[in-house]
Chain A
Amino acid sequence: MHNRQRLAASDAPDRVGPAKRLTRAKVEEAVAGYLFVMPSFFILFLFLFVPILSALVLVFLKYDLLTPPRWAGLANIRALFTDRRMVTCYWNTLRFMLGATLLNNVLGLVLAMGVNRAMPRLLKYVLRTALFFPVLTTTASLAVVWSFILTRDRGVLNYYLQQVGLQPVAWLASARWALTSTILYDVWKSCGYLMVLYLAGLQGIPGSLYEAAEIDGASRWQLTTRITLPLITPTAFFCIVVSLIGSSQVFDNVFVLTGGGPGDASRLIAIYIYELGFKRFDMGYAAVVSLTLLLALLLLTLLQFWGARKWVHYE
Chain B
Amino acid sequence: MSESLRSQPQSLDLRLGKGKRRVHTRKSRQRSPAQLLLEIVIWTFLIVMAIIQFAPISWMFATSLRAPARSMDLPPSFWPTDFRWENYLAVINSPRIDFLLFFWNSLRIAVLVTLGQLLTCSMAAFAFARLRMPAREQVFFLFLATMMVPGTVIMIPTFILIRTFGLIDTHWALILPGLTSAFGVFLLRQQFMTLPGELVEAARMDGAGFLRIFSQIMLPLIGPGLSALGIFTFLGSWNNFMGPLLYLRSWANYTFPLAIVMLQGYMGMGNRAHVLAAIMISIFPLLVIFLVAQRHVIQGIALTGLKA
- Asked if A and B bind, the verdict is yes
A126 to chain B, nearest CB (A): 8
B15 A118 Cβ-Cβ under 8 A: yes
A51 B261 Cβ-Cβ under 8 A: no
How many angstroms from the CA of A147 to the CA of B258 in the assembled complex?
Answer: 16
B132 A33 Cβ-Cβ under 8 A: yes
Residues of A within 8 A of B294 (CB): 129
Interface string of B207-227 (1 = CB under 8 A from A): 000100010000000000000
A256 B15 Cβ-Cβ under 8 A: no
Asked if A167 CB lies within 8 Å of chain B CBs, one says no
A290 B155 Cβ-Cβ under 8 A: yes
Across the interface, name the chain A residue whose C-beta is closest to B58.
Answer: A130
Interface size class of B (residues with CB under 8 A): 35 or more
Interface-central residue, B50, B256, B307, by most chain A CB under 10 Å: B50
How many angstroms from the CA of A274 to the CA of B243 in the assembled complex?
Answer: 12
Interface-central residue, B156, B157, B182, B289, by most chain A CB under 10 Å: B156
Name A47's contact: one of B59, B74, B161 (CB within 8 Å).
Answer: B161
Asked if B197 CB lies within 8 Å of chain A CBs, one says no
B249 to chain A, nearest CB (A): 12
How many angstroms from the CA of A114 to the CA of B48 in the assembled complex?
Answer: 12
Asked if B69 CB lies within 8 Å of chain A CBs, one says no
Chain B binding surface SS class? helix
A210 to chain B, nearest CB (A): 6
How many angstroms from the CA of A48 to the CA of B21 in the assembled complex?
Answer: 49
Name A39's contact: one of B120, B128, B159, B245 (CB within 8 Å).
Answer: B120
B90 to chain A, nearest CB (A): 18
| Known A33-B132, A145-B276, A290-B156; contact A130-B185, beta-carbon cutoff 8 A | no
Across the interface, name the chain A residue whose C-beta is closest to B51.
Answer: A130
How many angstroms from the CA of A223 to the CA of B22 in the assembled complex?
Answer: 12
A47 B177 Cβ-Cβ under 8 A: yes
Residues of B within 8 A of A211 (CB): 22
A8-16, A79-87, A190-198: which lies at the interface: A190-198
Asked if B99 CB lies within 8 Å of chain A CBs, one says no
Across the interface, name the chain A residue whose C-beta is closest to B78.
Answer: A156
B154 A52 Cβ-Cβ under 8 A: yes
Asked if A278 CB lies within 8 Å of chain B CBs, one says yes
Name A146's contact: one of B56, B149, B151, B302 (CB within 8 Å).
Answer: B56
A114 B286 Cβ-Cβ under 8 A: no
| Known A30-B134, A156-B59, A242-B305; contact A294-B153, beta-carbon cutoff 8 A | yes
Asked if A50 CB lies within 8 Å of chain B CBs, one says yes
A277 B155 Cβ-Cβ under 8 A: yes
B219 to chain A, nearest CB (A): 12
Asked if A144 CB lies within 8 Å of chain B CBs, one says yes
Residues of A within 8 A of B56 (CB): 134, 142, 145-146, 149, 188
- Near A by CB (< 8 A), chain B positions 154-192 give 154-161, 163, 176-177, 179-180, 182, 185
| Known A34-B133, A36-B210, A270-B152; contact A119-B124, beta-carbon cutoff 8 A | no
Name A134's contact: one of B20, B27, B53 (CB within 8 Å).
Answer: B53
B241 A41 Cβ-Cβ under 8 A: no
- Near B by CB (< 8 A), chain A positions 33-83 give 33-34, 36-37, 39-41, 43-44, 46-52, 54-55, 58, 63, 65
B177 A159 Cβ-Cβ under 8 A: no
| Known A134-B53, A144-B260; contact A111-B275, beta-carbon cutoff 8 A | no
A137 B286 Cβ-Cβ under 8 A: yes
- Near B by CB (< 8 A), chain A positions 238-265 give 238, 242, 245-246, 248-249, 251-252, 255-256
Asked if A94 CB lies within 8 Å of chain B CBs, one says no
Asked if A177 CB lies within 8 Å of chain B CBs, one says no
Name B133's contact: one of A30, A220, A278 (CB within 8 Å).
Answer: A30
How many angstroms from the CA of A142 to the CA of B239 in the assembled complex?
Answer: 10
Name A40's contact: one of B23, B46, B180, B275 (CB within 8 Å).
Answer: B180
Chain A binding surface SS class? helix
How many angstroms from the CA of A270 to the CA of B131 in the assembled complex?
Answer: 40
| Known A141-B283, A251-B152; contact A43-B180, beta-carbon cutoff 8 A | yes
Across the interface, name the chain A residue whose C-beta is closest to B211.
Answer: A32
A227 to chain B, nearest CB (A): 11
Asked if B91 CB lies within 8 Å of chain A CBs, one says no
Residues of A within 8 A of B104 (CB): none
| Known A137-B286, A193-B301, A294-B149; contact A54-B127, beta-carbon cutoff 8 A | no
Asked if B292 CB lies within 8 Å of chain A CBs, one says no
Interface string of B245-272 (1 = CB under 8 A from A): 1100000000011101100100010001
| Known A251-B242, A270-B152; contact A133-B157, beta-carbon cutoff 8 A | no
A131 B50 Cβ-Cβ under 8 A: yes
Residues of B within 8 A of A48 (CB): 146, 149, 154, 182
A37 B261 Cβ-Cβ under 8 A: no
Residues of B within 8 A of A55 (CB): 153-154, 156-157
Asked if A170 CB lies within 8 Å of chain B CBs, one says no
Besides the known contacts A111-B49, A117-B16, 19 further A-B residue pairs in the complex with CB atoms under 8 A apart: A25-B204, A30-B132, A32-B131, A33-B132, A41-B124, A44-B182, A50-B157, A51-B158, A118-B24, A119-B19, A138-B257, A142-B279, A145-B56, A145-B276, A188-B56, A200-B301, A255-B241, A256-B261, A287-B157
7 nearest CB pairs, A to B = A118-B19, A200-B302, A33-B133, A33-B131, A36-B127, A140-B241, A51-B157
A-B contacts, 30 of them at CB < 8 A, read A29-B132, A30-B132, A32-B127, A32-B131, A33-B132, A34-B133, A37-B139, A39-B123, A39-B124, A40-B120, A46-B161, A52-B154, A55-B157, A114-B42, A117-B16, A117-B19, A133-B54, A136-B235, A137-B239, A140-B239, A142-B56, A142-B279, A144-B279, A148-B272, A197-B301, A199-B302, A255-B245, A287-B157, A294-B153, A297-B150
